[in-house]
Chains A and B, each alone.
Chain A
């Protein structure tokens, strides 16, 4: 059975590996200059500290010499951690934030290619999942393979299992390359919760790929038609992804409130975009401070885990349904 799966799907596997090589070449080609600049700008060294602060000094409004004390009006309260920190450090954070902003601006366009990668997991469903059962039925070869000495249950579980495994391995390679490539852009953007970034890297990619595959397999097993199965995969994948992204993701964890000091009180401070919180809402309070409703940046992996779990939880019954349909299918 393993031999048959290998023989039938080796072409798809080679094709996927070739696609990985092409993608890898693209990642290396565009990623190396990006990483070189990232290092040169000193971002790896300064970011870990700079991204913890909620607010940073606005470098443009600072005098060249770090001597801010005389210009600070007495009624402005600085954030707690700012007061405990020497001003030179605050200024370093501000410079770091500015460098990061400049870096991200320069590489925004390269990273927008990442938008294309949003649909990549869907291709696993269309070209690996949908044909798995549908093509056998369209070519009538299910009557050949289901009348050998192997039960349909074993045929289905072996086939689905091995193909899922292959998809997960390919996804792992892909996600590894992609995460390396895009990390500088993510950390300098401070928007790790943005759908461009959240959805294309990390562990959610595994969930999406598995879901797309299961959807394709199940649609093929039920309909027995390749085109129907592929169309169902596209519609189902895009639909469920949008639904989860727009309706569910914001509710994975309760939001938290943050209050920022009044940023417009004549003193050069600004919100630190590097901080990476998912800012759900923002409004000025009566005291003149800015109130933010956020999902904190450190919840990122919790969100990724929940989203992955949702898609795996959707994939499992789809696969079980496909096995059920293969077994009870009337040819």
Chain B
């Protein structure tokens, strides 16, 4: 398998807790992936694995064709959760730091970018707003001209306006220079507007990975009468979640073709519906493999 990030049986254990449990997946290049999962699902651990901050207990993870960590770090831009920066540094000093610690670092790009965002270079970062700090952190990561950009909960601390500005800044950057972006969030709605792929992590396992448009197309909400046993419906590949509402039951299903069954009403689903269904799913289903994930 090749791709921007490829995991094979990736397992990370901290003492007795297993943060990632035999994850195997491949994220194709030049995609924008929303990494979604509840707190503690292993999102941060996965991103830390890709940067070499955390080492795999078992299995492998490769990034841009090389092993995660020191060899590939120069091509990986990373903004950790809460966008940690040296708060007593000015933005200009942070840029100097970036230029000194990286072989490839586009200083002019950074200065221009921060000037465009009206972020003062000579002010201590600790005195900037949360949104401005996030922009500085993003800028530092982008200045490496990375092939892979990893953002850990980039929007969590931002107000709605700052979120929008952050995402549009990100999209401008991606449009200017193609790269793979993986960003985590516990809500897909945050990222729906910008991502083209979704990956759902649940209790250390990948429960969904696919193109957003395909996911919306291949999933249906079926509403029908109560069933005694697991219903078998033509055109349904698998039932992802089921819920009972009064005298009816609702199934969120993955389809393999047209669903033709008079008993069931069919409804389109949103990406959020699909993601929520996979977040709630019982972990008995086999892992899904990425399908047809071309650019």
Contacts and interface: CB of A to CB of B under 8 A. Distances in A.
A331 B48 contact: yes
Interface in A152-190: 152
A45 interface: no
B242 interface: no
A141 B85 contact: yes
Nearest to B78: A147
Contact of B73 (A1, A7, A139, A147): A147
A266 interface: no
A143 B84 contact: yes
B78 A141 contact: no
Contacts of A147: 51-53, 73, 76, 78, 80
Given A140-B80, A144-B85, A147-B76, A4 B54 contact: no
B70 to A, nearest CB: 5
A149 B93 contact: no
A308 B133 CA distance: 47
A330 B96 CA distance: 27
A3 B96 CA distance: 9
Interface size class of B (residues with CB under 8 A): 20 to 34
Contacts of A7: 89, 93, 96-97
Contacts of A144: 80, 84-86, 137, 140
B100 A1 contact: yes
Contact of A139 (B78, B84, B102): B84
A147 B52 CA distance: 8
B98 interface: yes
A248 interface: no
A330 B73 contact: no
B82 interface: yes
A319 B27 CA distance: 40
Contact of B101 (A1, A140, A328, A330): A1
Nearest to B140: A144
A140 B137 CA distance: 13
Interface string A124-154: 0000000000000001110111111111100
A224 to B, nearest CB: 13
A139 B55 CA distance: 21
B53 A146 contact: yes
**Which label, helix, strand, loop or mixed, suits the secondary structure of the B interface?**
loop
Contacts of A149: 73-74, 101-105, 144
A108 B78 CA distance: 61
Contacts of A148: 73, 97-98, 101-102
A140 B44 CA distance: 13
Interface in A68-86: none
Contact of A328 (B55, B89, B100): B55
B94 to A, nearest CB: 9
Interface in A1-36: 1, 3-4, 7-8
Interface string B80-120: 11101111010001001110111111000000000000000
Interface string B144-165: 1000000000000000000000
Given A3-B96, A151-B70, A330-B14, A143 B53 contact: yes
Contacts of A3: 96-97, 100
A141 B86 CA distance: 7
Nearest to A143: B80
A31 to B, nearest CB: 37
A42 to B, nearest CB: 56
Residue of A3, A152, A330 with most partner-chain B CB within 10 A: A330
A40 B253 CA distance: 102
Nearest to A4: B97
Closest 5 CB pairs between A and B?
Answer: A143-B80, A148-B101, A149-B102, A140-B84, A147-B78
27 contacts: A3-B100, A4-B97, A4-B100, A7-B93, A7-B96, A139-B84, A139-B87, A140-B82, A143-B53, A143-B80, A143-B84, A144-B80, A144-B85, A146-B53, A147-B78, A147-B80, A148-B73, A148-B98, A148-B101, A149-B74, A149-B105, A151-B70, A152-B70, A330-B14, A330-B55, A331-B48, A331-B54
Interface of A: 1, 3-4, 7-8, 139-141, 143-152, 328, 330-331
Interface of B: 14, 48, 51-55, 70, 73-74, 76, 78, 80-82, 84-87, 89, 93, 96-98, 100-105, 137, 140, 144
Given A148-B73, A148-B101, A149-B102, 20 more contacts: A1-B100, A3-B97, A4-B100, A8-B86, A143-B48, A143-B78, A143-B84, A144-B84, A144-B85, A144-B86, A144-B140, A146-B53, A147-B53, A147-B73, A148-B102, A149-B73, A151-B73, A152-B70, A331-B48, A331-B54
